[in-house]
Chains A and B, each alone.
Chain A
Amino acid sequence: MPTLHHSPIGDRVYRILTTACAASIPTLLLVLSVAIGIAAWPAVRTFGWEFVTTSEWDAVRGVFGVAPAIFGTLLSSALALVIAAPLAMAAAIVTAELAPIWLRHVLDLLLDLLAAIPSVLYGLWGLFVMVPWLRESVMPFLAEDLRLGDTPLFSGPAYGPSMLAAGLLLAIMVLPYIAAVMREVLAAVPDAQREAALALGATRWEVIRYAVLPYARSGIIGGVILGLGRALGETMAVTMVIGNRHEFSTSLFAHGYTLASLIANEFAEATADLHLSALMAAGAALLAVTLVVNAIARWLVWRVRHQGAS
């Protein structure tokens, strides 16, 4: 006769295991942040604020100022967004609102494929195809044919690897992510909004412009900021096309640096403790910036997702 008792060991083990696994994730982030912070501390203590404000970077003399890298990170990302955001918006509108179902699937697939390409392959293509194209066609066109060569933005010799190259390549890389978020956000707009506008006699475009976009606005902005977050952290592709020079310049044709490529280039060879710590501090700066930017982006997107429910 089966008894009414049963050993709860299995349940207990299961509970302990799953709790441990769950705890590992926040712990991981915490440990990662703390470790980078601790490793960065010597440099921060040595240089203080000058670390982010000065531009001299000399490993031999032990002087480290990361301002050009910060500037380069921001500029390349901003450039990428300026190019990618409108195109992503266009792609999202076409995919979510205008295209017939079959085309929607094709576009989704294409954007997914773009997102699946590893960074180093973008870099390879950027280095051997895009940069020569820029050097031989685009940059001369901008400098001479459009006479922009005298403006600060397009001055200087056109070597090829440049801030422009980095911005352009980044734009291509973040575009599918921005487009995906925008597409999702547009799809989350309730049909009631569109129907109300149609009932008032709006044209197709007007429905999009006046009924759909405003509703999804914070999500759209969130998508752009998400793209910013990705652009800030992109390493390999940028390293291969930006020129890797600690330099400030207003010109997009000039070489530059980003925090991520700085770390990628110098970390393996850094032997001096201070040098390493300075690189860690660059990493800490990058970490802080991406955490904040991603948090803002996700909050904005979350807001649109839950707007419909209220």
Chain B
Amino acid sequence: MAAVAAERAVVAALSAGAGTAALRIEGLNATYGATRVVRDVTADIAPGRVTAIIGPSGCGKSTLLRCLNRLHETARNATVSGSVWLDGVDIYAPDVSEVAVRRQIALVMQRPTPFPMLSIAENVVAGLRANGARSGSALRDAAETALRRAALWNEVAHRLGDSPVTLSEGQQQRLCIARALAVSPRVLLLDEPTASLDPASVQRIEELVYELRKRTTVVMVTHNMQQAARVSDTTAFVLHGELVEMAPTARLFTAPADARTEAYITGRFG
């Protein structure tokens, strides 16, 4: 009984929204084999805000994002250098475990990646399970909370035991978001989350992201400038791995300081 209560406390703490966190990126460099994909990026990500990263394809946006939760280094021939400070702790410090980092900085990928051999409910709590949570009731509550926050609860409440492959792509992506939210990350990273979805799903997810800012810091890579304009507070423009400009969204889109930013926004390339 005491064990269950203790577990409930852990899950509750995780779910209570351990809060938003600030990220400070300093001198970040990343390579794939011989190519430098992220060049010397330094930036401040404000807590409790949505920061969008825009730029032409293949220019290092996703890699930059994946450096923020130490996922990039798991690929072959991939290296990272520099620092990323999560509320004062450098996630790249030698004594910091990357697994612990990823429990606090969650990432949702471009195409939905539900775990096919788990049910919908099991998918949502997968991250919690991996962190040691066992108790059925605590997990059920956490699942419902996360699904509600991801605006998916009403659609799946009656079929939590079904396989996620029976959901539409938009629903699957919201499931992945719910799964990421369930562990109450302090930062949520979204890598072009609506790239492969239909307009209705895109809208729902944009609304969702806008809502999330109150409880989580969100960094979102997007291909779609209008999306960035709709959803984010701050926007960063990345070109060839370099952070060209970062400013409050309204200002970046109406009065960009850098000529390259202006060229991209006005559609002259990319």
Judge if A201 is at the interface, Cβ distance under 8 Å. Answer: no
B14 close to A4 (CB less than 8 A): no
Cβ contact within 8 Å between A5 and B100: yes
Q: Is B156 an interface residue (CB 8 A)?
A: no
Which residues of the other chain, A, contact B91 by a CB distance below 8 angstroms?
4
Per-residue 0/1 for A1-33: is the Cβ within 8 Å of any B Cβ (1 yes, 0 no)?
Answer: 111111010000000000000000000000000
Once the chains are docked, how many angstroms separate the CA of A6 from the CA of B104? 12
Cα distance, A8 to B18, chains bound together (Å): 24
Q: Please report the total number of B residues contacting A with Cβ < 8 Å.
A: 14
Given A6-B97, A6-B100, does the pair A1, B18 have CB atoms closer than 8 Å?
Answer: yes
Flag if A2 contacts B14 (CB, 8 Å): yes
Residues of B contacting A1 in the complex (Cβ-Cβ under 8 angstroms) = 13, 18
For B146-188 the 0/1 string (1 means CB < 8 A from A) is 0000000000000000000000000000000000000000000
B14 adjacent to A6 (CB under 8 Å): no
Which residues of A pack against B, CB within 8 Å? 1-6, 8
B18 touches A2 (CB 8 A): yes
Q: Does B96 contact A (CB under 8 A)?
A: yes
Residues of B within 8 A of A (CB): 13-14, 18, 86, 89, 91, 95-97, 99-101, 103-104
Cβ of A85 to closest chain B Cβ, rounded Å? 43
Query: 4 new A-B pairs (CB below 8 Å) besides A3-B100, A4-B96, A6-B103?
Result: A2-B14, A4-B104, A6-B100, A8-B99
- Cβ B96 vs Cβ A5 within 8 A: yes
Q: Collect the chain A residues with CB atoms within 8 Å of residue B86's CB.
A: 4
Whether B18 contacts A6 by the Cβ 8 Å rule is: no
Let me know if A2 and B97 touch, CB within 8 A.
no
Find out whether the CB atom of B100 lies under 8 angstroms from the CB atom of A4.
Answer: yes
Q: With the chains together, A3 CA to B100 CA distance in Å?
A: 7
Nearest-neighbour CB distance to chain A for B270, whole angstroms, equals 33
Chain B positions within 8 Å of A3 at CB level: 100
Partner of A6, one of B13, B89, B99: B99
**Between-chain CB contacts (< 8 Å), 19 pairs:** A1-B18, A2-B13, A2-B14, A2-B18, A2-B103, A3-B100, A4-B86, A4-B89, A4-B91, A4-B96, A4-B97, A4-B101, A4-B104, A5-B95, A5-B96, A5-B100, A6-B97, A6-B103, A8-B99
Q: Are B104 and A2 in contact (CB under 8 A)?
A: yes
Chain B residues lying within 8 Å of A6, measured Cβ to Cβ, are 97, 99-100, 103
Chain B residues contacting A4 (CB-CB under 8 Å) are 86, 89, 91, 96-97, 100-101, 104
**Contact for A8 among B14, B97, B103, CB less than 8 A:** B97
**What is the CA–CA distance of A6 and B91 in the complex, to the nearest angstrom?**
13
Complex: A8 Cα to B99 Cα, angstroms:
9
Give chain A nearest CB distance to B132 CB in angstroms. Answer: 11
A4 to B92, CA, bound (A): 11
Return B104 CB to nearest CB of chain A, in Å.
7
In the complex, which residues of chain A have a beta carbon less than 8 angstroms from the beta carbon of B100?
A: 2-6
**CA distance in complex: A6, B89 (Å):** 15
Question: In the complex, what residues of A have CB within 8 A of residue B14's CB?
Answer: 2
A6–B70 Cα distance when bound, in Å, is 15
List the A residue with the shortest CB-CB distance to B19: A1
Separation in Å of the B22 CB from the closest CB of chain A?
A: 15
A10 nearest in chain B by CB position: B99
Q: What is the minimal beta-carbon distance from B246 to any residue of chain A, in angstroms?
A: 26
Chain A residues with Cβ below 8 Å from B97 are 4-6, 8
**Complex Cα–Cα for A1 and B14 (A):** 9
**In the complex the two chains form, what is the Cα distance from A3 to B101 in whole Å?**
9
Nearest-CB residue, chain A, relative to B184: A2
Residue of B89, B97, B104 with most partner-chain A CB within 10 A: B97
Kindly report which residue of chain A lies nearest to residue B186, judged by CB atoms: A2
Q: Which of A1, A4, A5 has the most CB of B within 10 A?
A: A4
* Chain A residues, Cβ within 8 Å of B18: 1-2
Give A1's nearest chain B residue, CB to CB: B18
Residue of A nearest to B98 (CB): A6
Residues of A within 8 A of B96 (CB): 4-5
Bound CA–CA A5/B93 (angstroms):
11
* Chain B residues, CB < 8 A from A8: 97, 99
By beta carbon, the residue of chain A nearest B101 is A4
CA distance A5 to B91 in the complex (A): 10
Question: In the bound complex, how far is the Cα of B55 from the Cα of A48, in angstroms?
Answer: 75
Closest residue on chain B to residue A8 by CB atoms: B97
Q: Which residue of B lies closest to A11 (CB)?
A: B99
**Distance from A87 Cβ to chain B, minimum over Cβ atoms (Å):** 42
* A8 to B100 Cα, complex, angstroms: 10
Please give the distance in Å from B201's CB to the nearest CB on chain A: 32
Residues of B within 8 A of A2 (CB): 13-14, 18, 100, 103-104
The smallest C-beta distance from B144 to any residue of chain A, in angstroms, reads 22
CB distance from B94 to the nearest CB of A (A): 12
Residues of A within 8 A of B89 (CB): 4
Chain B residues within an 8 Å CB radius of A5: 95-97, 100
B104 proximity list for chain A (CB < 8 A): 2, 4
A3-B96 Cα distance, complex, nearest whole Å: 10
Closest to B183 in A: A2
A1 to B96, CA, bound (A): 16
Residues of A within 8 A of B103 (CB): 2, 6
A4 → B minimal CB distance (Å): 5
The distance from the CB of A201 to the nearest CB of chain B, in whole angstroms, is: 45
